[in-house]
Amino acid sequence: MSTSEQTSERTDRTARVAIDVGGTFTDVVELLPETGALRFEKVPTTPDAPTRGVMAGFAATSGEVSSVRTFTHGTTLGLNALLTRTGARTAVVGTRGFRDVYLLGRTDRRVNFDITYRKPKALLERYDTFEVTERSWHDGSVVTPFDREDAARVARTVAERGYDAVAVCFLHSYANPAHELAMREVLAELAPGVTVTLSHELSREYREFERTSTAVLDAYVKPVVRRYLGALEGELRTAGFGGRFLMTRSGGGAMSATAAREQPVSLILSGPAGGVVGAVALAKALGMPDLITIDMGGTSLDASLVLDGEPVLHQGAEFEGMPINTPSLYIHTIGAGGGSLGWLDAAGALQVGPASAGAVPGPASYGRGGDRPTFTDAALAIGYLGTETPLGGTLRLDAALATKALQPLADELGLSVPALGRGMVAISTTKIMGAVRAITVEVGRDPKDFAMLSFGGGGGLVAVDVAVELGIPTVVVPPGQGAFCAFGMLLADVQHDASRTVVAALDELDPALADAQWRTMEDDARAALAEEGFTAASVVMARSLDVRYSGQEHSVTLPLHGDGAAGPLDAARVAADFAALHERQYGHTMTDPVEVTTLRLRATGVVDKPELPRLRERTAADGPLQREGERPVFVNDDAPAVPYALYTREEMLAGDEVAGPAVVTEHTATTVLHAGDVLRVGSLGELVITVGQR
């Protein structure tokens, strides 16, 4: 084929690309719709210039940027700005008399019995809080009109002090946003360079502190995210991109880049959401409705659940004690990744993480200047990792550099390097067990009732060890495990979440009024999705409501099905469904009156779903699966290494079986199984490991 023919073929394709920027690596997945083929790649993350790493991800695909129809992107940019306190200089404007809502917060204390606990540093000081004369009641009626002169005084002060962003949260604006809209007009006139966030545009629910916190978090990261997206869109445009640009969101769906610029708070906890979306799709395809997921990347590990084929969704999240009043997947994160550093605490005990070597310089074995021992170096020292297969096709680990980094710590502890490596891996495994127990045992679920889905660059190294300790019988490793979060992003539908606070006894709630509220939310969502290119046939509306027993503080979200999902509310059916849900979640029901607190809507723009290509079965003509050799693995401290059979995943076909001990290497990750474990390759290319008894 001539060069011109090759170029024409590449340009005519309509590929889909997902790029997930992690702390150490940027994962890339490319889908070619014509063949259904999936291509997984990894490139280094570039913290100093984030867009450079993303464009390097595009360069790693097989086609041109101009051939990409849909680009879905996940980034931790907003989260990192919060972690490092490098967001925008932010002011808060509230109702007169309520200046301190944000700094006072709630009077409860989440961390008990910990004398070392220190409240996380706030994003701003009292000097940065302002109040304006205005007030509305909870039903939206105005008790004190908006004082434009007072608002102008505040706006001029904001401009004079040089704030980058302002969060506006007036009392009961969820019921009547008119005063917040008026404040934006005043700020636009007198402080035109300031980015403005209005609380009602993020959350139309009661609870002033939660709404204020959400608005502050949004304002704090908005200038950072806007600059990044603006720069990235410019580079994509220059490269010829003209397709749909989506961002993953904390609730598991996606949002347009335009919407992300206006509501970046929805991106803060979106990093691992793609993996959970992919896990749900795989759970349905494999007929495994209940999964524990562990996603071990370069910096952290994220654990989550799939129950009855669906992710666990919370109607609010929290970052360092600061509420985020937007829907979010239930994900438990700990500092246990491939780059987690080994160190000694004040008592001389070995610890691993949460500090990480990150992308720069990375683990010592990467050969990029790192000289401190990390989990990756430990895994290489004990044989879980090797030097034969380059990570991501380009990065070959250096065993000598790993040993050099581990040696000083080993000497200080009086251990051999392999014994230290075993200790570091064991500590990380214990921490991961704790994360899994937090989402299962501590909330009344037995890990033995689940299979474990392991992904991320490091998940396959520890999954079987964790499963053994928790009694989990099966471990599943998906195809392209090292870039599985990016694969999940390809499956993410565009979502718009809306809510309205309506606190009323269930038997007193006017069904027609509730239906009218839902219809208003639906009309707004349809208009937004139409603007984003979705036809009516590809839009799905899902109604739900928050219900509780009268006198309770917290409620549960009850999906509406059947006629109630599109028409007047059936109070008797809601009461029965609530009783069943309460019984399932809490083990009991009550005779107390039932009340509704919030009406919710999730509007979904359904995207075409890629299907995982089927892996053909091995035939007699193929011959048996061949091992690539052996690798010595240190299984016990200071005991001689045990030979583990070495296999290449890309050579495996459906139906292949491997008995442990063995190591399976692939383009983006490595999987370890021990004596007694049995691996079978499924029809989608998944590795299903039956965990042996120890």
Query: Which stretches of 544-683 are DSSP H helices?
Result: 571-586
Please list the residues that pair with 629 across neighbouring strands: 646
Please list the residues that pair with 314 across neighbouring strands: 328
CB 534 within 8 A of CB 605: yes
Strand-pair category, 642-648 with 662-665: parallel
What's the pLDDT band for 219 if we cut at 50, 70, 90?
Answer: very high
Across 382-387, average pLDDT? 92
- Number of alpha carbons in the 13 Å side-chain half-sphere of residue 573: 13
Nearest to 556 by CA among 576, 582, 577: 582
CB 536 within 8 A of CB 242: no
Contacts 24+ apart (CB under 8 A), 261-266: 261/222, 261/225, 261/226, 261/229, 261/230, 262/201, 263/201, 263/202, 263/218, 264/78, 264/218, 264/221, 264/222, 264/225, 264/226, 265/78, 265/202, 265/214, 265/217, 265/218, 265/221, 265/324, 265/326, 266/326
Nearest to 135 by CA among 100, 167, 175, 191: 175
Residue showing tokens 């063949």: 35
CA 242 – CA 520 distance, rounded (Å): 32
Strand-pair category, 301-307 with 291-296: antiparallel
What's the pLDDT band for 562 if we cut at 50, 70, 90?
Answer: low
CA 669 – CA 456 distance, rounded (Å): 7
Query: Which stretches of 307-392 are DSSP H helices?
Result: 375-382
pLDDT at 2: 31
Supply the DSSP symbol for 370: -
pLDDT at 86: 86
Read off the amino acid at residue 88.
Answer: A
Percent of the chain at pLDDT above 90?
A: 53
Tokens of 135: 């007030």
Distances (CA, A) of 267 to 23, 60, 77, 80: 16, 25, 9, 11
Task: Report the largest interatomic distance among the alpha carbons of the chain, rounded to a whole angstrom.
Answer: 85
pLDDT at 567: 61
Nearest to 684 by CA among 632, 626, 630, 610: 610
Across 405-425, average pLDDT? 94
Per-residue pLDDT of 258-283, as tens digits, reads 999 999 999 887 878 888 988 998 99
Tokens of 32: 């070619």
Contacts (Cβ under 8 Å, ≥6 apart) of 94 = 101, 102, 129, 130, 131, 132, 168, 169, 170, 171, 212
Per-residue pLDDT of 586-642, as tens digits, reads 778 888 999 999 999 999 999 877 777 788 998 888 889 999 999 999 988 667 889
CA 305 – CA 276 distance, rounded (Å): 8
Mean pLDDT across the chain, nearest whole number? 88
pLDDT at 566: 60
Domains assigned to the chain: 85-226 (3.40.1360), 340-427 (no CATH), 497-605 (no CATH)
Q: Is the pLDDT of residue 490 over 90?
A: no
Across 284-306, average pLDDT? 90
Across 542-555, average pLDDT? 89
Q: Is the pLDDT of residue 403 over 80?
A: yes
Q: State the Rg of the chain over Cα.
A: 26
Reduce the DSSP state of residue 203 to 3 states and report it: coil
Q: Is the pLDDT of residue 656 over 80?
A: yes
CB 223 within 8 A of CB 195: yes
CB 61 within 8 A of CB 38: no
Helix axes 417-439 and 375-382, enclosed angle (nearest 10): 120
Nearest to 179 by CA among 134, 140, 114, 143: 134
State which of 185-194, 323-332, 636-645 shows the largest mean pLDDT. Answer: 185-194
- For 432, other C-beta atoms within 10 Å of its C-beta total 24
DSSP-assigned letters across all residues of 564-596: GGTSS--HHHHHHHHHHHHHHHHS----S-EEE
**Residue of 5 and 260 predicted with greater confidence:** 260
Contacts (Cβ under 8 Å, ≥6 apart) of 309 = 280, 283, 284, 289
CA 495 – CA 539 distance, rounded (Å): 10
Query: Which stretches of 133-238 are DSSP H helices?
Result: 148-161, 178-190, 208-238
pLDDT at 292: 96
Residue showing tokens 């997945």: 29
Across 210-226, average pLDDT? 94
pLDDT at 152: 97
CA 650 – CA 354 distance, rounded (Å): 33
pLDDT at 185: 97
CA 332 to chain centre: 10
pLDDT at 53: 87
Nearest to 315 by CA among 443, 216, 214: 214
Helix axes 484-491 and 273-286, enclosed angle (nearest 10): 80
Supply the DSSP symbol for 610: P
CB 458 within 8 A of CB 338: yes
Q: Which of 106-115, 528-537, 663-672, 678-687 has the lowest mean pLDDT?
A: 106-115
Q: Is the pLDDT of residue 456 over 80?
A: yes
Per-residue pLDDT of 118-130, as tens digits, reads 777 789 999 999 9
Give pTM, 2 decimals.
0.84
pLDDT at 563: 52
CA 673 – CA 659 distance, rounded (Å): 8
CA 517 – CA 460 distance, rounded (Å): 47
CA 2 – CA 5 distance, rounded (Å): 5
What's the pLDDT band for 132 if we cut at 50, 70, 90?
Answer: very high
CB 478 within 8 A of CB 278: yes
CB 667 within 8 A of CB 457: no
Burial bucket for residue 651 (CB in 10 Å: 0-12, 13-18, 19+): middle
